[in-house]
Amino acid sequence: MKVLVSDQISDLGVAKLRESVAVDVKTDLTPEELEQVIGEYDALVVRSSTKVTRKVLENAGRLKVVGRAGVGVDNIDVEAATERGVIVINAPEGNTISAAEHAIAMMTSLARNIPNASASMKAGEWKRSKFMGVELYNKTLGVVGMGRIGSEVIKRAQAMGMDILAYDPYISAERAEKMGVTLTSTEEIYRKADFITMHTPLTKATKHMISHDELAIMKDGVRIINCARGGLIDEEALYEALKSGKVAGAALDVFEEEPVTCNPLCELSNVIVTPHLGASTEEAQVNVAVQVAEQVVNALQGEPLVSA
């Protein structure tokens, strides 16, 4: 059995694979080069840079499994894989805490203007009144998507004294109640929340779930955090709402196009951006790499899989 690792993953994940199978690590393949070499492999392990397209899969005569060292499988054509009997697996839990901590860090940075204040002081200024912030205590946080990461964000926000309104059509009222959370509609969240944080996958149903109409009914001065997927928020609509001051600030880790260096949102002073760093901690990267390696080996050996 031969496995190709085509994105940077933790060495511990590669070592775990090598305990059972032969592994090639080739992280600088062009899409054309990947199409040429994929036929030699039984499994492919990716993070987010490699696009596992229909064309790649058409050239993958021996491929049995694609493993994604992370949660979202949006860089894999799952439909094409399924048609060819190729299993797609992910590592759904390894980066939950890191992503939740990043969302909280983005929310607190936004509330207290930390990136701008830091940049100003490093530029030789001492401007205390310019960077007046707001407290999180007693504020309402709207959580859209109450899965693994959304739930961890809720626990941390509750510890800071925030009131939570959550929307997730697939979570039971009982589970929400256990977490001390009121399940409600997106509309109520948009009308009442001081902060809104997004934690759903990107699907046909969630694409642009925040656009002009949703922004229009939000509280004036709302702050929005997105550490899930870029396409959940219509970036053009958000840009306008930030420009007009309707939205006081946004903290974005993810973008409609990635990688991106010249997104107009980056030019706005009330926007904080990070380059998709939610899962970029030492701990999360070891977790997801080892989890996906174990799963890929299980799949190749016909052992049971833990599904996402």
Closest CA to 198 of 171, 173, 223: 223
Q: Which of 47, 68, 148, 276 is catalytic?
A: 276
Task: Kindly tell me which of 48 and 197 has the beta carbon lying closer to ligand MLT.
Answer: 48
Q: Which stretch binds ligand NAD (CB under 6 A): 4-12, 27-35, 129-137, 194-202?
A: 194-202
| Beta strands 43-46 and 65-68, pairing class | parallel
Residue 281 is a binding residue for ligand NAD (CB under 6 A): no
Q: Write the binding mask 146 to 175 for ligand NAD: x where contact by CB under 6 A, - elsewhere.
A: xxxxx----------------xxxxx----
Q: Which residues of this chain interact with ligand MLT, rule CB under 6 A?
A: 47-48, 70-72, 95, 276, 278-279
Closest CA to 89 of 60, 75, 69: 69
Is 212 one of the catalytic residues? no
Is 32 one of the catalytic residues? no
Task: Kindly tell me which of 219 and 276 has the beta carbon lying closer to ligand NAD.
Answer: 276
The three-point CA angle 162-232-254 to 5° equals 80
Is 276 one of the catalytic residues? yes
In the range 8-67, which residues lie near ligand NAD by CB under 6 A? none
> What phi, psi does 9 have (nearest 5°)?
-130, 165
> What phi, psi does 250 have (nearest 5°)?
-135, 145
Q: How far apart are CA 68 and CA 144, in angstroms?
A: 24
Tell me the longest C-alpha to C-alpha distance in the chain.
Answer: 63
The footprint of ligand NAD (CB under 6 A) covers 71-72, 92, 95-96, 99, 144-150, 167-171, 199-202, 205-206, 227-229, 253-254, 276, 278-279
Q: Which residues are catalytic?
A: 229, 258, 276
